[in-house]
């Protein structure tokens, strides 16, 4: 009789154990979520202005710890922080009551892990003083601190740029700071520097700053080599001229070799120009008695084939003088055959480049930095951000998309841009985990968050 009772007790305990495991697994499954936007900020506290700990990518899985109002406390990439509820899709129903117990267990586990350290505090302190490895680590920390301090203090702006109200690429601009302007850097956060000007304070990408003392020293060091290399720099201009032809709808001849320089004249497709030299992707040319620079990507050795049905109307390709060219920009039409294809072929050369917030060069692009760079190679200057680029060119319906059109996306407003390739495909700088890649806009995230498109050329 007694053995039967023991057997019955064992069976009951086994059943209870199986049921407990089932509910534990269900609870764990409900305590995960996936990022449902291109990039989400993992913050230190449940506040939109708090420090950004990490940038998480689309479809990345996180572990939910608890919910606080409209914020979720989560664990991702070994860090604990907060995500706004609209940035994630929760797997199952996670309630605060069901999450209290795992949190308590985590806290208890942490106490269990830290108690031995507290108990052995004196012995660890003694070993730390005698351990040479600790001294090496301390020296490394001191070196890192010196590097950090060198990035603070008086700095000089490398190029014209906008200060941001927050250290995020899509944040609102405050004021524009000019090249060589002096600012005071007071804080560094995730590649962003908080700087003070004479009138205001804001955020700027760290790579757009350089130490003032370093700048002055570099200028002194460069004076003598520049004088020595004057003859070498002038040598290319003495080369024999060759004849090339404009291969795009409209090409701007500029006074200097950059997209912000004054436009000397605009040339239509197949105009012949005399090229004397080429420097950094720009060709020095003469045409109709005028001299200037054209982006080398807009010139070919042979004329382009045209037909009456594909002959384009002239469009503006520059947005710097918006007051004078605004009306002309609204008269754009379908681009000539091959123009959009030229843009796509250029963009494909940068597949695989890494994604860097604020990046505008092949060493690292963000989405609008990539589109700006590609069109700059074709002599076209775009606005800097994805939202601002929605004012470039002219609107085009989704059904009339052609290769080379800009396409914009976002959940609440525009926060992403790519270049349409045709066949429902885009090429874009996607996110930090994927870099420059291609995607379809006919399904998934980009189909559901499509905002509109602009025709630039």
Active-site residues, by number, are: 367, 416, 428
Q: What CA–CA distance (Å, rounded) separates 241 from 285?
A: 9
Contact 234, 210 (CB under 8 A): no
Strand partners, 39: 57
Residue that has been written with the tokens 């267990």 in this structure: 105
Give buried/exposed letters for 18-50 (b at 16+ CB in 10 A, else e): eeeeeeeeeeeebbbbebbbbbbbbbeebeeee
Helix (H) or strand (E) holding 137: helix 132-150
CB atoms within 10 A of CB 111: 10
Give buried/exposed letters for 313-326 (b at 16+ CB in 10 A, else e): eebbbbbeeeeebe
Contact 363, 356 (CB under 8 A): yes
Contact 99, 31 (CB under 8 A): yes
Q: What CA–CA distance (Å, rounded) separates 161 from 173?
A: 10
For residue 335, give the 3-state DSSP assignment.
coil
CA dihedral 222, 224, 226, 229 (to 10 degrees): -140
Q: Using CB atoms within 10 A of its CB, is residue 368 exposed (0-12), middle (13-18) or buried (19+)?
A: buried
Strand blocks (E) in 256-353: 263-268, 272-279, 282-287, 290-295, 299-300
Closest CA to 369 of 157, 208, 253: 208
Total count of residues recorded for the chain? 457
């Amino acid at each position: 009789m007694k053995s039967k009772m023991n057997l019955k007790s064992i069976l009951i305990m086994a059943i209870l154990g199986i049921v407990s495991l089932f509910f534990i697994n269900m609870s764990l499954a409900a305590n995960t979520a996936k990022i449902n936007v291109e990039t989400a900020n993992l913050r230190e506290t449940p506040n939109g202005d708090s420090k950004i700990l990490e940038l998480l990518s689309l479809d990345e899985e996180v572990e939910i710890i608890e919910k606080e109002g409209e914020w979720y406390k989560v664990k991702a990439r070994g860090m604990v922080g907060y995500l706004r509820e609209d940035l994630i899709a929760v797997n199952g129903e996670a309630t605060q009551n069901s999450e209290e117990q795992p949190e308590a267990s985590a806290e208890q586990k942490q106490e269990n892990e830290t108690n031995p350290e507290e108990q052995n505090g004196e012995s660890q302190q003694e070993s730390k003083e005698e351990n040479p490895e600790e001294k090496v680590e301390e020296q490394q920390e001191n070196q890192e601190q010196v590097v950090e301090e060198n990035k603070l203090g008086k700095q000089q702006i490398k190029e014209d740029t906008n200060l941001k109200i927050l250290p995020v690429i899509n944040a609102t601009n405050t004021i524009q700071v000019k090249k060589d302007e002096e600012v005071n850097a007071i804080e560094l956060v995730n590649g962003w520097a908080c700087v003070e000007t004479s009138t205001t304070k804001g955020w700027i990408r760290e790579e757009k700053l350089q130490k003032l003392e370093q700048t002055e020293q570099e200028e002194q060091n460069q004076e003598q080599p520049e004088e020595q290399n004057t003859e070498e720099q002038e040598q290319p201009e003495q080369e024999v001229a060759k004849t090339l032809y404009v291969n795009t709808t409209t090409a701007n001849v500029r006074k200097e070799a950059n997209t912000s320089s004054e436009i000397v004249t605009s040339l239509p497709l197949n105009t012949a120009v005399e090229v004397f030299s080429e420097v950094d992707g720009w060709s020095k040319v003469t045409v109709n008695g005028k001299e200037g620079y054209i982006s080398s990507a807009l010139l070919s050795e042979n004329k382009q084939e045209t037909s009456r049905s594909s002959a384009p109307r002239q469009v503006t390709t520059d947005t710097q003088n918006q007051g004078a060219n605004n009306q002309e920009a609204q008269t754009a039409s379908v681009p000539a055959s091959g123009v959009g294809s030229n843009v796509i072929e250029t963009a494909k050369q940068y597949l695989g480049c890494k994604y860097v917030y604020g990046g505008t060069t092949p060493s690292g692009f963000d989405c609008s930095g990539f589109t700006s760079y590609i069109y700059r190679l074709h002599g076209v200057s775009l606005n800097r951000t994805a939202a601002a680029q929605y004012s470039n060119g002219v609107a085009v319906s989704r059904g009339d998309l052609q290769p080379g059109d800009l396409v914009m996306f976002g959940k609440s407003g525009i926060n992403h841009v790519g270049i349409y390739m045709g066949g429902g495909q885009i090429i874009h700088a996607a996110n930090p985990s994927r870099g420059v890649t291609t995607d379809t806009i006919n399904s998934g995230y980009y189909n559901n968050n499509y905002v509109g498109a602009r025709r630039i050329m």
